[in-house]
Amino acid sequence: MSSNGFAAFLSLYRRGAVKGRIKRTSGGWFDCSKRASCLENGEVSAYRAGACSVSAWRTRCSTVNSSALRLARDGEYSTLSFTGASMRALVTGGAGFIGSTLVDALVARGDEVTILDNLSTGRADYLNPDARFIQADLIHDDLDTAFVDIELVFHTAALARVPRSIEDPVGTHEANVTATLRVLKAAADAGSRRVIYSSSSSVYGDQPTLPLTEPMAPNPLNPYACQKLMGELYARNFARVFGLHTTSLRDFNVYGPRQAESGAYRLVIGIFLEQRRCGERLTIHGDGLQTRDFTHVSDVVRANLLASSAGELPPGEVINVGAGREVSIRDVAALVGGPVEHLPPRGHDERFKRADIAKARALLGWEPRVSF
């Protein structure tokens, strides 16, 4: 496992290189002769300095898969190896943080990819030009045409973040539960082979012991956690009732390039980074000793790829995807740097988080490669 995931992310962030646009640096263009063979074989290696735009890379290295280049350009720290037959895949939320990174990986491994996104929270500049894009709303629009001949479905679309679900529980229920139900129904009707559902570690809530294991009884503390749990239940039900092979991945505190850095609904890392950029105090709710299991987006994407190709997964299975390590909010603030202000604790936040990833190892052959 790499040991510099967050440090590398901070370095890229401070150079303005985490929004999908790394500029040419004083180091010049990177040496295609040294990198092309690796990328042509479908392996996306870490690349930090001297990066140029995708169009320039295409000119210099016309044989290199452009999606592999996007992954390297956007701060892909770990190596992803892509093998297997090409598939027809659909990614909901494919213009978002996790979804767009997943799209790049799918295209890079040779899949024929369709993106389904309404761009309400996703960004058009994150859309992969080698994928088909359908702008549609999962709640209201007809989905049948988009799902024709689709073999793999990755459902990453969601209105994430706990505060938003508290402010608007009905609207977020529609986006996170009704939309999930409609995606599962469309996939079942189309005869899709498998659906990978992006769930959340928030379903655990507070538990008496760590690490958090999949058999633990869920204890959701807020509407968002309830909604993600309902998505898991629907996924499992569709496996039992309709024969649709589903897998739910419980993602733990995902961070990395393309994460939200502004706006009202950000994770703590995004909040700290914006506060530091604006010269403000870093705000911590409570004593800051609460912990999270920060997981790099490249590891989450790799778990999705493995889940999509694993042959013996039990239908409806739930699998943790986390780094397996606790990091306190106080420590994150220290890494970002700057003065800190403590605010009253919020009643809807979990106290401690650490994933047990034994099932991911056993069923997917997956382990995190990027540590915080």
Among residues 132, 131, 90, 80, the alpha carbon closest in space to that of 306 is found at 80
**How far apart, in whole angstroms, are the C-alpha atoms of residue 308 and residue 213?**
22
**204 part of the active site:** no
Rounded to 10 deg, the angle between the 32-40 and 66-73 helix axes is 120
Catalytic residue among 77, 126, 204, 224: 224
For strands 291-292 and 246-251, give the pairing.
unpaired
Task: Name the residue type at position 43.
Answer: E
CA dihedral 256, 259, 265, 270 (to 10 degrees): 50
Q: Which of 176, 116, 181, 104 is nearest to 148 (CA)?
A: 116
CB contact set of 362 (below 8 Å; sequence gap of 6+): none
| Cβ-based neighbours of 257, under 8 Å, separated by 6 or more | 9, 12, 17, 18, 19, 20, 74, 75, 76, 101, 297
**What's the burial of 140, exposed, middle or buried (CB within 10 Å: 0-12/13-18/19+)?**
exposed
Of 317, 350, 305, give the one whose Cα is nearest residue 79: 305
Tokens of 23: 């500029």
d(CA 283, CA 260) in angstroms, rounded, equals 17
**Secondary-structure breakdown of the chain: helix, strand, coil percentages, each rounded to the nearest 5:** 35, 15, 45
Q: Which amino acids are annotated catalytic?
A: 224
